C-alpha cells in the first residue's frame, strides 16, 4: 500500500542540481523519521529515491541499483539486500543497529554507519515530561478543570491528589551513558540525590555515586532506565526487581522495551508494588493488542508514549544532517 510513496521528484531534482549522477541513494522508510524533515541536502550527493515504507517483499527490487541505503528499522541481511550488487554503504537513522546483519555486510565489503548523541536533549526532556505527568498528577488536575469541577469550587486550591517534590528524593539511574548523565545532572539541579547502577559492571564514573542493583532498587524514589539492550539488561526489571522497590516509587523506561518484563510490571502496578510507571519503549512496537499493560487505563498509574522521546524536531534534523556528512565523507 506504500508503493506510491516513491518520490520521483527527488530523483529529477537531484539530477538537475548536478549531483553525482552515478551514485544512487535509496531511503527505504522515510516515514520513520517524519514527513516534516527536509531531506533536500541529500540531492547534492547523487540520485535520490525515497520510499515512505518498504515491505520485505518490496526491498530486493528497490535496492538492486543502490549505492547507499538509508534505513531505520528495515532488516538488512542477505534476504533483503542480496540483489544490491552495487551497494557500498548502509546508513542507519538511529543509534541501535540490531537490524543489521553485520557478518553479511562484512563478507560483502559493505560499510555501515549509525548515529549516536543526536537525541540526548530530546530524550532527557521527555524523561522529565513523563516524571512530572505522574508525580504531579497532571492528568487528574487537567480533567478536573476541563470537567468544570473547578468552576465555583469552594476554595481556590484542590487537594484531592497529593504530589511531592523531586528535591530531597533519591533518583536511581540504570545506564549512565550520555543520556543517563544528562538526566543525572538535571535531577541534581532539582535537588535530588542521584545514584546509578551499571549492569555491565563498568568502572565507577567520577562525580557520580555508583551502587549495586539492590541498593538502587530499595532506596530510590524514582528509577529511570537509559541503558542499551544487551545480555546484561534483557529482562533486568522483572518481578523480583519490582518487589524490591518502594511502594511509592515511580519507574521510567526510556532505554529499550525488553529490559522490562511487561507482565511483571503490569502485576507490580496492579498490586501496588510500585506507584506508577512511565514508558516510551515496549517489547513490541507498535504495541501488541496482547500487551498486558494495555489493560491499565488509570493514567495516574501508567503513561505510555509511542517511542517519541528521541523525536524532537531538532533531534531529527540533527540526525539527518549527521548522516549527510557521513555519506559525504564516505564518498
Catalytic residue positions? 256, 285, 307
Q: In whole angstroms, give the CA distance from residue 224 to residue 234.
A: 15
Beta bridge partners of 196: 173, 210
Burial bucket for residue 216 (CB in 10 Å: 0-12, 13-18, 19+): buried
DSSP 295: G
H helix count then E strand count, the chain: 11, 12
Secondary structure, 3-state, 140-203? HHHHHHHCCCCCCCCCCCCCCCCCCCCCCCEEEEECCCHHHHHHHHHHHHCCCEEEEECCCCCC
Q: 29 near 74, Cβ under 8 Å?
A: yes
* Separation of alpha carbons 132 and 134, rounded Å: 5
Helices 120-135 and 313-330: crossing angle in degrees, nearest 10, is 160
The DSSP secondary structure of 223-265, one letter per residue, reads EEE-PPPSTTTTT-B-HHHHHHS-TT-EEEE-S-GGGB-HHHH
Amino acid at each position: 500500500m506504500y508503493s506510491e510513496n516513491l518520490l520521483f521528484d527527488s530523483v529529477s531534482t537531484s539530477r538537475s542540481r548536478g549531483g553525482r549522477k552515478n551514485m544512487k541513494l535509496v531511503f527505504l522508510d522515510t516515514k520513520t523519521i517524519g514527513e516534516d524533515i527536509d531531506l533536500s541536502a541529500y540531492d547534492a550527493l547523487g540520485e535520490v529515491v525515497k520510499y515512505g515504507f518498504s515491505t520485505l517483499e518490496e526491498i530486493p527490487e528497490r535496492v538492486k541499483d543502490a549505492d547507499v541505503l538509508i534505513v531505520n528499522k528495515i532488516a538488512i541481511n542477505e534476504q533483503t539486500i542480496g540483489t544490491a550488487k552495487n551497494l557500498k554503504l548502509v546508513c542507519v537513522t538511529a543509534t541501535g543497529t540490531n537490524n543489521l546483519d553485520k557478518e553479511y555486510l562484512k563478507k560483502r565489503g559493505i560499510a555501515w554507519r549509525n548515529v549516536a548523541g543526536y537525541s540526548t536533549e530530546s530524550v532527557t526532556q521527555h524523561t522529565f515530561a513523563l516524571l512530572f505527568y505522574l508525580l504531579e498528577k497532571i492528568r487528574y488536575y487537567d480533567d478536573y478543570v476541563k470537567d468544570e469541577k473547578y468552576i465555583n469550587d469552594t476554595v481556590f486550591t484542590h487537594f484531592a491528589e497529593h504530589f511531592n517534590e523531586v528535591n530531597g528524593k533519591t533518583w536511581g539511574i540504570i545506564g549512565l551513558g550520555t543520556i543517563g548523565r544528562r538526566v543525572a545532572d538535571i535531577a541534581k539541579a532539582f535537588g535530588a540525590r542521584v545514584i546509578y547502577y551499571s549492569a555491565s559492571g563498568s568502572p565507577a564514573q567520577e562525580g557520580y555515586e555508583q551502587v549495586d542493583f539492590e541498593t538502587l532498587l530499595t532506596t530510590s524514589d524514582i528509577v529511570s532506565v537509559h541503558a542499551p539492550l544487551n545480555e546484561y539488561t534483557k529482562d533486568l526489571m522483572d518481578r523480583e526487581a519490582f518487589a524490591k522497590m518502594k511502594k511509592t516509587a515511580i519507574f521510567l523506561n526510556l532505554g529499550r522495551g525488553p529490559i522490562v518484563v511487561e507482565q511483571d510490571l503490569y502485576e507490580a502496578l496492579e498490586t501496588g508494588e510500585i506507584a506508577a510507571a512511565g514508558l516510551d519503549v515496549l517489547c513490541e512496537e507498535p504495541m501488541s493488542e496482547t500487551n498486558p499493560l494495555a489493560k491499565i487505563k488509570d493514567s495516574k498509574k501508567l503513561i505510555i508514549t509511542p517511542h517519541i522521546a528521541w523525536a524532537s524536531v531538532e533531534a531529527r534534523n540533527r540526525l539527518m544532517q549527521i548522516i549527510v556528512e557521513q555519506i559525504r565523507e564516505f564518498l
